Structure 1
Amino acid sequence: MTDGSDAADSREDTDEDTTNVAIRDSIHERVAARVEGTDFETPAEYVEYTLEEVLSRVEEGSTTTGAAADPLDRENDDEDNEEVESRLESLGYL
């Protein structure tokens, strides 16, 4: 794992407060590999951007549907799967 210097270096020009978050080395290596050839200067910038995107989608979904639209919400996946199976069964596919 890195010492967090990526995050510190990429935040020097901002006035926003920051918090360090630990991730597994294997994830950091994957992120670092993805950063190559992009406009991101550090893995920390990539991770922050990715988290912002995911959170925005989750928050948009929760305001438009009135329910939690968390893509990691396995309960919603199970409900969706049951609904699809029910429709397929009523159409004679199952």
Structure 2
Amino acid sequence: MKCKYCGKNITAKNAIFCSKNCHTYYSTELERKDMSNYTRVTITLDKDMSKSLRAIQSKLIQNTNESISFSQVVNIVLEEGVKVKKTILNDI
């Protein structure tokens, strides 16, 4: 069976996603299509950061059958970064 999000072959018979990360990203994709939770902003990124985010976008597109916008990649990376930062600040 193939993962519904990334397309990897999985051996579990009743699983839809190969990991919790794929389930999280897929859920985020469904929320993204709603657009009611989003605010439009303009930001400036340095070239290295932009290249890194484009590389992530490229990998996600290669592993899925869906289109993935640059904004979606930025949101995914920021969400994970904010979670990590919050846990670090709470531990201090």
Same fold? TM cut 0.5? no
Task: Provide the TM-score with structure 2 as the length reference.
Answer: 0.43
Task: Provide the TM-score with structure 1 as the length reference.
Answer: 0.43
User: Of the two, which has the highest radius of gyration?
Assistant: 1
Relative CO higher for 1 or 2, CA cutoff 8 Å, sep ≥ 6?
2
